[in-house]
Amino acid sequence: MVNRPVIGVVGAGVIGSQVAQTFAQAGHPVVLVDVHDEALERARRSISRDLRFHRMLAGGSTGPGAATKTQAAKTPAAKGAAPGAAAAGNAPAGNAAGGEGESRAAVLERITFTRDLAPLAEAELVVENVVEDWEVKRGVYEKLDPLCADGCLFAVNTSVIPITRVAAATGRADRVLGMHFMNPVPLKPMVEVVRGHHTSPGTLDRARELLAGIGKEAVVVADAAGFVSNRVLMLTVNEAVFTVHENVSAAEDVDRLFKGCFGHPMGPLETADLIGLDTVLLSLDGLYAEFADSKYRPCPLLRRMVDAGLLGRKSGQGFYTYPQI
């Protein structure tokens, strides 16, 4: 395999660990940084588990169409998705990764799990996935900027924080962009790429190239809180929570309607459980603050569930119960 550039991944939570895994599967050496040892340990376990089942999840053994079939169901109208999806998951992730050819150990070995930011000096791209909290993110960029190579690109993986604001916290605004990865990262063929006010065309080209190398197609959108996907999704999720809050419907029935009537593979409340209710709440709070528009007001039930520690899949309980192991 050709030598692939080092990728830095900061934040080893739900999404950061998947981003690290995906780059490692495509052959990149990856430095995965978190402030918590437990988060790093959890990331190692979940990556290892994911790699074990990757071939099955990507549909490897039933032929190259399998992975795209589920994806196609999720994006029925996406004409551009078909070629991208066919290249995704299967091509780079399939042959370079986890599945048939390579052992789990080989992929895991490519990932350095550490609390130390220093090794990021080697990285050509740093994908930042720390908690959705501007003060925390700002602190991270203030440390990264002097430490990383001049040519290093910073990709902000955020649900609603404007990329231009993040870029302003660095001295390299032209090399900062948004990469909004979708959960589960190893299987999703597309990334919403966000062009900040100062993001240069060269940065976007390089980002597209790096993403193509891990089997992902980029759709570039301009910088506005929530971009396209989260702005629309979070409103939908919030409204779904309101219907439960107001006893209009049980959670199961809300989801059944979306699946049965609209052909969505998952309903909005299952999706919320998958994303994490705390992350959903932070996103809504962020949209509310950014647009100063009351239509983003988080449903009180959502806030209460988060206060009660019912965070969805990651805590074992959200709108549904998930047996913990």
Partner 1 sequence: MTDTSQPQARESIREFLGRHLSGYDIGDDENLFETGYVNSLFLLQLVVFVEETFGLEVEDGDLRRENFCSVSALTGFVAGKQAAAGAPPQP
Which residue ranges make up the annotated binding site? 11-16, 34, 132, 137, 159, 183, 314
Question: Is residue 53 close enough to count as binding partner 1 by CB under 8 A?
Answer: yes
Tell me how far, at minimum, the Cβ of 247 lies from ligand NAD, in Å.
28
Per CB under 6 A, the list member of 9, 130, 218, 241 interacting with ligand NAD is 130
Q: Name the binder of 252 from ligand NAD, partner 1, none, CB < 5-8 A by kind.
A: partner 1
Stretches 104-112, 130-138, 216-224, 231-239: which one binds ligand NAD (CB under 6 A)? 130-138
Which segments within 118-165 are labelled E, that is strand? Answer: 125-128, 153-156
Known binding-site residue numbers for NAD(+): 11-16, 34, 132, 137, 159, 183, 314
Comparing C-alpha atoms, which of 117, 179, 186, 183 is closest to residue 145? Answer: 117
Window 256-275: contact mask with partner 1 (x via CB under 8 A): ---x----xxx---x-----
Torsion angle in degrees (nearest 10) through CA of 301, 303, 309, 311: 80
Q: How far apart, in whole angstroms, are the C-alpha atoms of residue 28 and residue 7?
A: 7
Q: Output the CA–CA distances (angstroms, integers) from residue 228 to 47, 95, 176, 183, 232, in the order listed.
A: 29, 32, 19, 16, 6
CA 206-207-213 angle, 5° bins: 90
Question: Is residue 236 close enough to count as binding partner 1 by CB under 8 A?
Answer: no
Site for partner 1 in 156-185 (CB under 8 A): 184
Torsion angle in degrees (nearest 10) through CA of 55, 57, 63, 68: -140
107 touches 1 (CB < 8 A): no
Question: Is residue 226 close enough to count as binding ligand NAD by CB under 6 A?
Answer: no
Question: Is residue 44 close enough to count as binding partner 1 by CB under 8 A?
Answer: no
Comparing C-alpha atoms, which of 27, 210, 195 is closest to residue 125? Answer: 210
Q: Output the CA–CA distances (angstroms, integers) from residue 49 to 12, 17, 129, 242, in the order listed.
A: 15, 12, 21, 35
Question: Is residue 101 close enough to count as binding partner 1 by CB under 8 A?
Answer: no
Tell me how far, at minimum, the Cβ of 62 lies from partner 1, in Å.
5
Per CB under 6 A, the list member of 6, 7, 9, 14 interacting with ligand NAD is 14
Tell me how far, at minimum, the Cβ of 172 lies from ligand NAD, in Å.
19
Tell me how far, at minimum, the Cβ of 116 lies from partner 1, in Å.
28
Is 114 or 249 the residue whose CB approaches ligand NAD more closely? 114
Q: How far apart, in whole angstroms, are the C-alpha atoms of residue 292 and residue 250?
A: 30
Is 99 or 132 the residue whose CB approaches ligand NAD more closely? 132
Q: Name the binder of 184 from ligand NAD, partner 1, none, CB < 5-8 A by kind.
A: partner 1
Question: Is residue 41 close enough to count as binding partner 1 by CB under 8 A?
Answer: no
